[in-house]
Chain A
Amino acid sequence: MDNNIRQQLNEYIIAHQEDFYRLAFSYVKNRDAALDVVQESIVRALSKSDSLRQPEYLKTWFYRILLNESMNHYRRSKRLVPLEESVADGPAPASDPAERLDLYAAIDRLDPKEQAIIKLRFFEDMKLEEIAHITGTNLNTVKSRLYKSLRKLRDLTGEEVTT
């Protein structure tokens, strides 16, 4: 039975490696760093695979590891960002109507947890229940974070982004 789950995990990882890479890349914005994140997540997942008992949680279980790994990397690299960039990153540029961002660029301005919800929901087409499982929160938290993120995106882009 154990072997069966591990087999499934292996196949799942191989089949979805490009999704993993894209999600990692969207955080770290660097090819090598994204590869590192994917590799590190896989090693971590496999070495802990004895704790995975129910195959139906395989996807959310792996995404949780991948997301943690991506966010850790993101936070670490944030600390090393040069001063000019981090200043530019600062207080809401959205207040300046002349400088609207497109939606994709605006997502990068959200904090990492809000980004996660937006990306998983709209780019990976996940259900809110799945997202709750991945982020280790409950459904209500996911919902309220989602609406808050959408409001922020609206302010950043100046467009009505609610779907």
Chain B
Amino acid sequence: MKDLWEEARQQYRNTDTPPELEFAVASALRAGEKKRRQHRGLRRSLSAGLAACACFVLLVNVNPTFAQAVADVPVLGDLARVFTVTQYTVEDRDHLIDVRLPALDLAGDTDLEQRVNTEISTRIDQVLQEAEDRARDTREAYVATGGDPDDFMPIIISVDYEIKCQNDRYLSFVITKTETLASAYTEYYTYNIDLQAGREITLRDLLGPDYKEIANSVISAEIDRRSQDPDNLYFLQGEGGFESIADDQSFYLDADGTPVVFFEKYEIAPGYMGTQEFRIPLPETK
């Protein structure tokens, strides 16, 4: 009987292990380790977020004085403020992510506040997800084409915001997302809020019904002026050059409350010229 088992055991042991096994095991070990960290990171940030929310809700519910105190906080005479709700850094083999995410605190208008804040967080979540997917794909392509995984430079993704205008009437801020691979590429998301009217402002609100014509003529003239400098080569009309501002044109308000229309890199000019900004003066009557 022993021989019978010995024979079967030999047959079992004789299974050839393919040369790919070692590589397959090594890459699975790395993938598993990464997955483990993701789980942990996620759990940690979720519970921190929940804890903070729970705390806040509890205090507001329990203590009416506290609720009133929150509403009454005189933020240096401002009607609103932008504050950082989330700040975190993720670092692994594929990417370095640095996020400073703003949220809005509007004294009176919780509807608007909520809408804007939800919009911000969903947009940033989506943007980050896309960026992470891209980072992973880039790394896989790099390794698949024979690159040494240890030489792979992590992709740097950073999300930040800048307040452009904050006064009794307006609040304007820009969220930027920068992805650095070999060269950096930044995307911009703008938020402009009329605090008195309690809503987001459009160029039409600021410049009147003819806002497109007004902006277009200012921008065209400015492009002509800047083109005097031989270093500035805008794309020509009909070849991807500036034709007209879009219905949902990105802009922000500068410190004086004047709208500044801007175009991202490559949008109307070659990449080396960077983002192009155009200040559109408000009509005299306003």
Contacts and interface: CB of A to CB of B under 8 A. Distances in A.
What is the interface residue range for chain A against chain B? 35 or more
A163 B17 CA distance: 29
Contacts of A18: 17, 21
B36 A50 contact: yes
A103 interface: yes
Contacts of B21: 17-18, 21, 35, 38
4 closest Cβ contacts across the A-B interface?
A46-B32, A47-B35, A42-B28, A39-B28
Interface string A129-163: 00000000000000000000000000001011111
A47 B32 contact: yes
A25 B15 contact: yes
Given A10-B29, A42-B28, A31 B4 contact: no
Interface of A: 6, 10, 13-14, 17-18, 21-22, 25-26, 31, 35, 38-40, 42-50, 102-104, 107, 119, 122-123, 157, 159-163
Nearest to A163: B1
A46 B8 contact: no
Nearest to A46: B32
B286 interface: no
Nearest to B27: A39
B229 interface: no
A50 to B, nearest CB: 7
Interface string B1-29: 11011011101110101101110111111
Contacts of B15: 21-22, 25-26
Interface band, chain B: 20 to 34
Given A43-B32, A46-B35, A47-B35, A13 B1 contact: no
Nearest to B36: A47
B181 to A, nearest CB: 26
B9, B18, B25: most-surrounded residue (chain A CB, <10 A): B25
B225 interface: no
Contact of A159 (B4, B13, B24): B4
A39 B27 CA distance: 8
Interface in B37-66: 39-40
Given A22-B17, A39-B28, A50-B40, A162 B9 contact: no
Given A39-B28, A47-B36, A17 B22 contact: yes
Q: Which DSSP category, helix, strand, loop or mixed, fits chain A's interface?
A: helix
Nearest to B31: A43
A42 B5 contact: no
A122 B12 CA distance: 10
B37 to A, nearest CB: 9
B32 A42 contact: yes
Contact of B25 (A13, A25, A159, A161): A13
Given A103-B8, A123-B9, A161 B1 contact: yes
Given A22-B15, A160-B1, A122 B22 contact: no
Given A39-B24, A39-B27, A161-B1, A104 B32 contact: no
B150 interface: no
A18 B19 CA distance: 11
Contacts of B24: 35, 38-39
B4 A103 contact: yes
Contact of A44 (B7, B17, B32): B32
B25 A17 contact: yes
Contacts of A159: 1, 4
A48 B29 CA distance: 12
Nearest to B35: A47
A38 B17 CA distance: 12
